[in-house]
Structure 1
Amino acid sequence: MINVTKPAREQVRMYFEGKEIAPIRIFLNSAGCAGPSLAMALDEKKETDAVFTFDDVEYIMDKDLLEKASPVDIDFAGTGFRLESGLKPTGGCTGCSGGTCTS
């Protein structure tokens, strides 16, 4: 399940104002210091995607990833989007510097 809050839907609507609406993909961002995280980008639908529609905008996510990450909550607060999911953090570190993490 993907949930999109009202503030997030409003920001997406403003982004697409005067533009053609494209599906928004939720995908697994490369694991960094804090472990795996989700990100968003414009993309095309694939047969392997789950599709959720809010305010005429399609949010798409690979079905296998959705099963592991569900529920996915998309919110907008302050200056950016926040994606929360059921993904479990892996590893971790005590600090990151110059792209290098230490545990």
Structure 2
Amino acid sequence: MPISNYFGWFFVVYLFMQIFALYLAKYDKKGTESFSKSYWLEPIAVYAIQSLNYLLLCFTGTGYRDIYDSMTLVCVFTMVFVALHAALTVSRAHDLEAQ
């Protein structure tokens, strides 16, 4: 698969998110302050749950052990790390707002 395919998808996602951010900036008058902590933690939990497949495959998968071990390491240092960081950031932000 050519590297230009990855850059193309990155660009498409960037454009979609940028257009959505501009839409929110123009039409969302309430802002995001009115949302509860659980509102922000839900997508983080869904993202973290998706990483369970890779983590469990390392312990239960038969054959291709090298690939499963590599996938687990990548998963821990990308998906799990990002989910934990996001959860801590949301938790800290809402604790600061409560004070």
TM-score by length of 2: 0.21
Which entry has the higher C-alpha Rg, 1 or 2? 2
More strand by share: 1
More helix by share: 2
